[in-house]
Amino acid sequence: MRVRFAPSPTGYVHVGNVRTALFNYLLARQRGGLFLLRIEDTDVERSRKSYEEGLIEDMKWLGVKWEEGPDIGGPLGPYRQSERSELYREYVDLLLEKKMAYHCFCTPETLEREREEALAKGETPRYSGRCRNLTPEEVKERLDRGEESAVRFKMPDDKDFHYPDLVRGDLLFDLSLFGDFVILRSNGQPAYNYAVVIDDHLMGVTDVIRGEDHISNTPKQIKLYEAFGWTPPRFGHLALVLGQDGSPLSKRHGATSLNQFRALGYLPEALVNYLALLGWAPPEGEEILSWEELIRLFDISKVSKSGATFDYQKLNWINRKHLSQLPSEQVLSLALPFLEEAEYIEKGRKLSPDEQKWLVQAVEIVKANLVTLADLPKELELFFQYRPDEALLPELREEAVSPLWNFLEEKFSGDSPITAQEFISFLQEAKGKGIKGKALFHPLRVILTGCGSGVELDKLINLLGAPEAFNLGLKRRPLLLKERIQEAKGRAGR
Ligand code: GLU
């Protein structure tokens, strides 16, 4: 099995296309096949090298790997259509010789007029065949004169053509509605429907999985295969990815391109997991799946025929799950660019072992709250600011909390943090002084963290105002324990 992803580098990669690439990739992996990347850059006006580079970088980030492609080469290259012009011309000549294609001299104006006439009559516009039966002499003469011409394929007109689609089942077409289509434009560029056939055939592609916007192209491509006497690949067409309102997923729904999801702090494995669920449901029900599980469970024949709605909430849920499964060290290292961006750490500075240790522990504390990696700076603010929840402040003003305030100020007046052990002694001492229950635990949490709930204080306490955090070279300075208590006091108006 050989499958491919054949994007046109005319913009950033859309997640819909990424899902197409992913389904191809999963299929290749589970069947021991090869996955190739081909860049379809025949639209010279719109194609950009920078988009190709971005695409390759983003796909590598995602973890989809190709065995052959423009960046790594391979035995059946080149893998960029712009480098295959010779081949396209060669095979056009073959079709011309076999009289299965012909030169068309119709001007854009003539074609447009014919189109409008057809529309006015309520017919589907298609090429009239005006140049189909020109004599060889006339063709030669017009070519010699330097008249511009395109090459058209003589499309057979079977009334009940059908092919078995891997996703949608048997599909039926009336080819008499198609008309002869251009395979080589007058500027010498191959048309998509033609180039794709030459490439897929010469690259040994056995299965073509792509978006359903290409369904109507498939009969044209199959007829080209037949004209050359080649066996067509199997075709499968995936339904479009839609926004919540049922229209194709676009910018107005939110992030759509792979690089946006990356910049927003999604994990590649979470995005892959989510995209695989767009139109496919795992048989065992469990939705949080690793690469290995996806490869094992994915089933192209079970992919839905109807459009899949992109659900950002569900993606967030999946990202959160994947993040929570990662060791805190890894979360930290993946989130470093976000910490640098938020000026917690100087860009590119290597962390000392103590700083690293403090940060890993801090990540451990806040990890469960992260939806994406980009949330880490905000979650770490806990250590750098005192931002109490206003609704909790009245509690700190209560008379019953007075002994706690006094005791805290007395105990934590120094510049150093306290260890978990010292904290336990503090609690015991407090209880000994009659400060307990409702007058101890909850207000203590609010005073120290500004929050009414969260991780256990003994896990957090040694990180608050720890010297390692001060050394980070951060723009924002962490608060010492005593500063925190003073802040809380100020906010509570005591
Ligand atoms: N370049 C085409 C696209 O991006 C490829 C279609 C195909 O897979 O045949 O839509």
Residues 6 or more apart in contact with residue 163 via CB below 8 angstroms? 170, 171, 218, 219, 222, 232, 235
- Closest residue to atom 3 of ligand 1, CA basis: 7
pLDDT digits (tens, 9 = 90+) for 70-86: 999 999 999 999 999 99
pLDDT tens digits for 5-18?
999 999 999 999 99
Q: Clarify whether 251 is annotated catalytic.
A: yes
Q: How far is CA 286 from CA 64, 311, 331, in A?
A: 22, 18, 24
**Burial (Cβ within 10 Å: 0-12, 13-18, ≥19) of residue 260:** middle
Residue 327, pLDDT score: 98
Instruction: Give the mean model confidence (pLDDT) for residues 97-117.
Output: 96
Question: Residue whose CA is closest, atom 4 of ligand 1?
Answer: 7
Contacts of residues 229-234 at CB distance under 8 Å and 24 or more positions apart, as own/partner, are 230/201, 232/163, 233/200, 233/205, 233/206, 233/207, 233/208, 234/164, 234/166, 234/206, 234/207, 234/208
Instruction: Return the bridge partners of 35, or none.
Output: 3
User: How many angstroms separate the CA atoms of 487 and 479, rounded?
Assistant: 10
Domain-embedded: residue 78: no
Judge whether residue 44 has pLDDT over 80. yes
Of 478, 481, 358, which Cα lies nearest the Cα of 422? 481
The C-alpha atoms of residue 249 and residue 69 are separated, in whole angstroms, by 28
Tell me, using a 6 A CB cutoff, whether residue 484 lines ligand 1: no
> 276 and 344: one domain?
no
Residue 477: its pLDDT value, please?
80
Tell me how long the chain is. 494
Q: Per the structure, how many domains does the chain have?
A: 3
Look at residue 318 in the predicted model and tell me its pLDDT: 98
| Same domain as 476, residue 337 | yes
- Extract the runs of DSSP E, i.e. beta strands, from 293-441: 308-309
Asked if residue 136 lies in contact with residue 143, where contact means CB atoms within 8 angstroms, the answer is no
The DSSP letter of residue 188 is S
Same domain, 59 and 96: no
| Closest residue by Cα to residue 196 from 6, 400, 354 | 6
235 Cβ contact partners less than 8 Å away, ≥ 6 residues apart: 163, 165, 166, 207, 208, 209, 210, 218
Close Cβ partners of 100 (under 8 Å, ≥ 6 residues apart): 153, 154, 227
Interior angle at CA 277, CA 274 and CA 282, nearest 5: 125
From CA 272, how far away is CA 288, in angstroms rounded? 11
Residues 402 and 461 occupy one common structural domain:
yes
Report percent pLDDT > 90 for the chain: 88
Q: What is the rounded average pLDDT of the residues 39-45?
A: 92
Q: Which residue, of 312, 343, 364, is where some domain finishes?
A: 312
Same domain, 18 and 144: no
* C-alpha distance from residue 205 to each of 9, 76, 367 (Å): 21, 11, 44
362 and 455 assigned to the same domain = yes
Distance between CA atoms of residues 131 and 152, nearest Å? 9
In this structure, what CATH number is given to the domain that contains residue 16? 3.40.50.620
Q: Is the CB of 196 under 6 A from ligand 1?
A: yes
CB neighbours of residue 81 within 10 Å: 26
Measuring from atom 6 of ligand 1, which residue has the nearest CA?
6
Q: Is 158's pLDDT higher than 70?
A: yes
Q: Is 214 in the pocket of ligand 1 (CB under 6 A)?
A: yes
Whether the pLDDT of residue 122 is over 80: the answer is yes
Please say which residue of 282, 312, 342 terminates a domain. Answer: 312
pLDDT of 255 over the 70 cut:
yes
Out of 12, 38, 40, give the residue to mutate to test ligand 1, the one with the largest number of ligand atoms within 8 Å of its CB.
Answer: 40
Is cis: bond before 136, omega within 30 of 0?
no
Asked whether 130 and 106 are in contact (CB, 8 A), the reply is yes
The residues pairing with 121 across neighbouring beta strands, listed in sequence order, are none
Please state the atom number of ligand 1 nearest to the C-alpha of residue 208.
Answer: 8
Per annotation, catalytic residue among 251, 431, 433, 438: 251
Distance 366 CA to ligand 1 centre (A): 43
Residue 458: per-residue pLDDT = 87
Indicate whether 275 and 181 sit together in one domain: no
Q: Which residues contact 328 (CB under 8 A, 6 or more apart)?
A: 360, 361, 363, 364, 367
- Evaluate: CB of 3 within 6 angstroms of ligand 1: no
For 5, 34, 38, 76, 154, the CA distances from 207, given in Å and listed in that order, are 11, 11, 14, 16, 25
Q: Is residue 77 part of a domain?
A: no
Asked if residue 450 and residue 386 are part of one domain, the reply reads yes
The verdict on residue 318 lying in a domain is no
Chain segment 381-408, per-residue pLDDT in tens? 989 889 999 999 999 999 999 999 999 9
DSSP code, position 461: G
Phi-psi region of 124 (alpha: psi -120 to 50; beta: other; left: phi over 0): beta
The best mutation among 35, 37, 47, 192 to test binding of ligand 1, ranked by most ligand atoms within 8 Å of the C-beta, falls on 192
Q: Residue 321 falls within a domain, yes or no?
A: no
Ligand 1 in contact with 81 (CB < 6 A)? Answer: no
Ligand 1 test: best mutation among 200, 209, 214, most atoms within 8 Å of CB?
Answer: 214
Q: Is residue 401 part of a domain?
A: yes
Q: Considering the domain boundaries, does residue 74 fall inside one?
A: no
pLDDT in tens, 330-376: 999 999 999 999 988 888 888 889 889 999 999 999 999 999 999 99
Query: In angstroms, what is the span from residue 43 Cα to ligand 1's centroid?
Result: 12
Tens of pLDDT, residues 211-254: 999 999 999 999 999 999 999 999 999 999 999 999 999 999 99
For residues 182-202, average pLDDT:
97
Q: How far apart are CA 173 and CA 158, in angstroms?
A: 8
257 with 14: CB under 8 angstroms? yes
Work out the number of other CB atoms within 10 angstroms of the CB of residue 476.
15
In a domain, 387, yes or no: yes
Please give the residue range of the domain that contains residue 131: 84-238
pLDDT for the residue 474: 65
Average pLDDT, the chain: 94
Nearest atom, ligand 1, residue 7 CA: 4
Q: Are 37 and 69 in contact (CB under 8 A)?
A: yes
The predicted pLDDT at position 1 comes to: 98
- pLDDT tens readout for residues 446-474: 999 999 988 888 889 999 988 878 777 66
If asked whether residues 379 and 460 sit together in one domain, one would say: yes
Say if strands 34-37 and 2-5 run parallel, antiparallel, or are unpaired. Answer: parallel
Percentage of the chain exceeding pLDDT 70? 99
Domain boundary among 288, 312, 336: 312
Q: Are residues 283 and 218 in the same domain?
A: no
Does one domain contain both 222 and 246? no
Shared domain check, 458 and 334: yes
In a domain, 390, yes or no: yes
